[in-house]
Amino acid sequence: MEIYYTVVMFVFGAVLGSFYNVVGYRLPKGESLLFPSSHCTKCNHKLGASELVPIFSYIFLGGKCKNCKEKISFFYPIFEFTSGLLFAISYRLFGFSIELAIALVFISSLLIIIISDYQTMIIPDEVLIFSSIVLIVLLLIGYGWKSTLYSMSEGILAFITMFCLKKIGDFLFHKESMGGGDIKLMFLLGLVLGYPIAIISIFVASFIALPVAICFVLRNKDQKYIEDDEIPEHSIPFGPFLAISSILLLLSQIDFQFIVKLLTR
């Protein structure tokens, strides 16, 4: 039965991953999540049921639109597979429990944020507010109001820490060093991961982002800069890296609380 439930969770996650891709792309633009229905971005061909099966539709269609034969980005099946894999891993770690519900809501919100911040450089407030409310309700159900208030205080502390880091960065670099969405995201991370791990996620995200940033700089070293603030026309959002590092920390099951206690003795 464990294998059966694992497969079910994978399929469930892959299906939701396909939807999260739509949410992450449309929500920051103020577009409807339902209309127009899924379509080819090249020829506007409306996708039929056989073209909407996560992962398999891409394989069966040979990675091309059924109508115009233009290539479909390989990102879509990869994202759907990753979403399914994260759901399956979460089930294997937490089983059917309140912890699983918290993990799935947390991961779902971060997957949407990865898409939205990467595509539009925006972390939608709607995602942060909705997921925070759902998570607080789940924490109340699972752990009671005292533990929930403590988790909320850790989220607030993580938010304040990130805000202070932004102010320091603005002062040092004499320009906007961080987006407001990244700061608000820290409340969500502190709420679920706890304050110490939420702060660790910043350093892990920076480590993951470093090679990407180096490649970006090398590739765009001759890029023209905007005269007003001398910021490149294209920049790298930090939100996706924060989201990736937070998912890794959630699922790694490393006892960072124990490590923090050792370091602060």
Q: What would the pLDDT profile of 39-66 be if each residue is shown by its tens digit?
A: 777 777 787 777 778 888 888 888 887 7
Domain boundaries defined on the chain: 1-96, 124-265
If you average pLDDT over every residue of the chain, what do you get? 85
CA angle (160, 165, 166) in 5-degree steps = 95
Angular region, 200: left φ>0, alpha ψ -120 to 50, beta rest: alpha
CA angle (253, 254, 258) in 5-degree steps = 130
Phi, psi for residue 232 in degrees, rounded to 5: -60, 150
Rounded to whole angstroms, the Cα distance separating 165 from 78 reads: 33
Eight-state DSSP code of residue 174: T
DSSP-assigned beta bridge partners for residue 225:
232
With 0-12 / 13-18 / 19 or more C-beta atoms within 10 angstroms meaning exposed / middle / buried, residue 2 is exposed
Residue with the larger pLDDT of the pair 177 and 79: 79
With 0-12 / 13-18 / 19 or more C-beta atoms within 10 angstroms meaning exposed / middle / buried, residue 83 is buried
The rounded radius of gyration (Å) of the Cα atoms in the chain is 20
- What's the Cα-to-Cα distance from 39 to each of 18, 42, 43, 71, 229, rounded to whole Å? 13, 9, 8, 14, 38
Letter for the amino acid at 2?
A: E
Rounded to whole angstroms, the Cα distance separating 83 from 79 reads: 6
Which pairs from 29-34 meet CB under 8 Å and 24+ separation? 29/120
Q: So what's the pLDDT on residue 255?
A: 54
Give residue 221's pLDDT band: very low, low, confident or very high (50, 70, 90).
Answer: low
Q: So what's the pLDDT on residue 161?
A: 94
